[in-house]
């Protein structure tokens, strides 16, 4: 049962899947606000639910980020922490959550004005870091992430009230059509899929490895993609994909020799902080969904040199 009868995004409350219209804006910014991007890109984000920024970071910055991601991968002690999610059928690291906690480099990156200013404009509010994670997809071993709307899970399991959050995925490797890139359904953010079934207790312990609840049915996916072409996001390392919290997305497994590591930062509006989970269950851990000690991020205009001298502050 959900925690509120007035919930306009009820999900997982009976055996029937439903598709309902979005009740919230996509681009919250008012016209007088000064955008950090061009008008066509804002329109793309609003219409499609995502926009790709090629070469947002320089090759030297990307090299630093890659080195830091590898350092975290090689840290044996991190593998035993609850923030480290292991693949269900191997000992391969799938995701590392709460990345800034373990990396001053990525703590800086989360505050970079090139990211934060986008989030503040599109959400028309001060923002904080709701969630962060490194998704590793090593060659031959990286597994799929099935189709889902992040908001459905964040709403039901974390208590995110409205669709006023977005993700920024930074490619740390070349995202090829063959190595399991992110795929999105354009326009899907205008429709909320109310999923069937109820949420098991402590669902996150399994769902972060392989999600089975809070995912759309095949019939629901067919309806969302009817007359629509799935967007396969390819691009070089250093590109950034911005996508709305309700955009349907997923990715296939990686059976190629080419690794695909992406860094995700989720920015939530300060006026959209978490309530009690709408599932009626206890909140998920802080490393998955931040609800304590919330402070607005102040964008910092870092230079390339600020990342290259990372050894001084590690």
Q: Do residues 257 and 139 make contact, with C-beta atoms less than 8 angstroms apart? A: yes
Q: Is the dihedral of CA 57, 60, 61, 63 positive or negative?
A: positive
The strand ranges marked E within the chain are: 18-21, 50-53, 84-86, 93-97, 127-135, 145-148, 165-171, 182-184, 191-194, 231-232, 240-244, 249-251, 262-269
| H-run or E-run covering 222 | helix 218-225
pLDDT at 211: 57
pLDDT at 80: 85
Distance CA 102, CA 270 (A): 24
Distance CA 258, CA 254 (A): 8
Residue found under tokens 């069937």: 196
Q: What would the two tokens of residue 159 be?
A: 């208590």
Q: 25 in the Ramachandran plot: left (φ > 0), alpha (ψ -120 to 50) or beta?
A: beta
Q: What global pTM score does this model have?
A: 0.92
Residue pLDDT, tens place only, 74-100: 998 888 899 998 877 777 888 999 999
pLDDT at 4: 53
* Chain centre distance of CA 62: 19
CA angle 6/12/17 to nearest 5° reads 100
Residue stretches of the chain with pLDDT short of 50: 1-3, 311-314
All domains of the chain in start order, with CATH: 51-312 (2.60.120.620)
């Amino acid at each position: 049962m959900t925690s509120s009868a007035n919930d306009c995004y009820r999900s997982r409350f009976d055996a029937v899947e439903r598709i309902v219209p979005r009740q919230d804006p996509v681009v919250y910014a008012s016209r007088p606000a000064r955008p950090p991007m061009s008008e066509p890109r804002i329109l793309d984000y609003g219409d499609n639910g995502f926009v790709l920024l090629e070469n947002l970071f320089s090759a030297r910055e990307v090299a630093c980020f890659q080195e830091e991601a590898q350092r975290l991968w090689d840290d044996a002690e991190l593998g035993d922490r609850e923030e480290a999610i292991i693949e269900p059928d191997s000992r391969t690291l799938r995701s590392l959550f709460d990345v800034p906690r373990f990396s001053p480099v990525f703590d800086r990156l989360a505050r970079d004005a090139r990211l934060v200013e986008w989030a503040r404009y599109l959400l028309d509010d001060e923002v904080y870091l709701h969630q962060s994670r490194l998704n590793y997809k090593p060659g031959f071993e990286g597994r799929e992430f099935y189709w889902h709307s992040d908001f459905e899970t964040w709403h039901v399991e974390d208590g995110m009230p409205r669709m006023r959050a977005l993700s920024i995925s930074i490619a740390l490797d070349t995202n090829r059509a063959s190595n399991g890139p992110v795929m999105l359904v354009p326009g899907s953010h205008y429709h909320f899929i109310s999923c069937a079934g109820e949420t098991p207790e402590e669902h996150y312990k399994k769902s972060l490895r392989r999600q089975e609840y809070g995912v759309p049915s095949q019939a629901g996916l067919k309806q969302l993609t009817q007359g629509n072409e799935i967007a396969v996001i390819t691009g070089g390392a250093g590109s950034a994909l911005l996508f709305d919290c309700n955009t349907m997305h997923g990715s296939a497994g990686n059976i190629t020799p080419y690794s695909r590591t992406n860094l995700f930062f989720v920015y939530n509006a300060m006026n959209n902080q978490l309530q009690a989970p709408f599932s009626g269950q206890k909140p998920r851990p802080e490393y998955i969904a931040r609800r304590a000690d919330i402070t607005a991020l102040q964008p910092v205009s870092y230079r390339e040199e600020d990342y290259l001298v990372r050894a001084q502050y590690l």
